[in-house]
Structure 1
């Protein structure tokens, strides 16, 4: 079980601790055969009241680009729609793969791909979002992601029982699958696509893989890395990005923790510097 406290996971000056550095050392043995994959909300971006206002920390785009110069695979895998990720991470090269809606939408060096079997669910999601908005108490936010819909109650925590019940009702009515999150419930299309299957595909040729995540939707990714670590000559490292709302199950499933998006960015930046050091001044 990983510890949620900064403890050995971070140094007072924000640099990764020796323990963290040792944990990610397997990825630095052969960076071109390693994969570094991150969630977005709560990992690269702080959690905020309005999900549309979630912005990455300053310096994130540069760190991702530098990671991609050193590592074989660098990706952001999120429950957000791909257009949102493209907007918030604009400027990152296409060598940084972006996977939206848990992998249903992806952009990489070969272009953009949307999972064809998900498309018939767009009208179902739209109808569910319309009904939820019509019935929602004041302060509830219904986020229509085209191939998924999320009910948020961050600004009205007392409305949580309504949000949970309404999402369950829509799940029973439509066949969409409920996924609990921080102050939210998401209804997802019922396909066997999640962060675990997506990172498995993205990192199929990697010998070492790490994943940074903070919420229940990241547990399939952690489980994939745990299985990967049992394979000969492969290593999986799960990093929980912790905060006041981090579910205990996420901390329990992680190999190590970092304190919030700032801690994640510090470790990612250090890894980038090790894998793709800047050239020194001419001699």
Structure 2
């Protein structure tokens, strides 16, 4: 294993990483987008990837079974922002958007999408007046089609604004039979029962993965961390990685490994690809007698 590859702090995480490196062809490696592959920015439409990270993903994708992106964004927006269509090494990448309600496959370039629930239309109608009544008419409304998010990061006091909107938006979601998901100075209203854990579970089953690694940064990624733990119980080695930030601590507390935001994720991807390459080279260099006895 590469000397620069960080070691998980938990035994389960170490086993997950060891299994991934030893048997990469059956590994599912999945990432959140915002705050993980791309730095958090004030304008979500400008969230471009961390420099060099798409190239690193291409190198990793050539060495593992499947690389996937699981995001709350519409899948096609993540594809466009990251420039994934036609990116070297990423001819098989899968992008799951809207917490599992959309899927884009690089191999076919087909976008599959579900229908928006009726409650989304009610949110569109009621949200502007609700925000105005809260004195937050300048909050940014991001209409994703299948969900709607309210961002307060660009307001003068984003923490106060977030505290103000949290309960009223949760009540609005309840009235229209949607879920309200808090994030980093954002509240998102989306269909119930759709979360990144479910999306990760479906990919792992479809791929018959022997190991799964998921990297995320925000509260919406907790469900994927929980799924990594559930997969471990079923015999699939797992590694949960937090793209750390000062804004969200809950994820770091549940992670097997914490890296320093998108730059740390880029370094992790590079070192993981290098470790897999070194492991494969060592295996090919071993003599037949060494391999038969398990010697290294």
Give me the TM-score of the superposition, normalised by structure 1.
0.84
Aligned with 2:233: secondary structure? coil
> What is the CA distance between 1:135 and its match in structure 2?
4.1
2:288 is matched with none
Q: Provide the residue aligned with 2:267 in structure 1.
A: 266
* Aligned position for 1:207: 210
1:177 is aligned to 2:179:
yes
Query: 1:77 aligns to what?
Result: 70
Unaligned runs of 5+ residues in structure 1 are 1-10
CA contact (8 A) 1:37 1:74 kept: yes
Which residue is 2:294 aligned to? none
- Is 1:27 aligned with 2:20? yes
Number of the residue aligned with 1:188: 190
Change (3 A) 1:166 1:18: closer
The answer (yes or no) to whether the contact 1:163–1:184 under 8 Å persists in 2 is no
Task: Describe the SS at the equivalent of 1:154.
Answer: coil
| Structure 2 counterparts to residues 38-49 of structure 1, below 5 A | 38-49=31-42
Who wins on radius of gyration, i.e. which is larger? 2
1:120 positional shift: 4.3
Q: CA RMSD in A?
A: 2.3
Contact 2:141 2:148 in 1 (8 A): yes
Comparing 126-135 with 30-39, greater Cα deviation is found at 126-135
TM-score (norm 2): 0.80
Per-residue CA distance 1:235-264 (angstroms, 9 max, x = gap)? 01101111111232x122211211111111
Q: Which residue of 1 aligns with 2:151?
A: 152
**Cα distance in 2 for residues equivalent to 1:52 and 1:236:** 32
* Cα separation, 1, equivalents of 2:141 and 2:100: 21
Correspondence for 1:17:
6
The Cα offsets for residues 42-97 of structure 1, whole Å up to 9 and x where unpaired, read as: 11111111222211111121112222111101101000111211111214334111
Distance 1:54 1:120, change over 3 A: closer
Q: Which deviates the most, 123-132 or 201-210?
A: 123-132
- Number of aligned residue pairs: 259
Q: CA deviation at 1:141?
A: 0.7
Match of 1:256 in 2: 257
Q: Which runs of 5 or more structure 2 residues have no equivalent in the other structure?
A: 282-296
The one of 239, 244, 247 equivalent to 2:246 is 244
State the shift of 1:148 in Å.
0.4
Secondary structure of the corresponding residue to residue 230 of structure 2? helix
Cα deviation, residue 111, structure 1: 4.3
Asked if 1:37 corresponds to 2:37, the answer is no
SS class of match (1:185): strand
3-state SS of 1:245 partner: coil
CA distance in 1, matches of 2:272, 2:46: 28
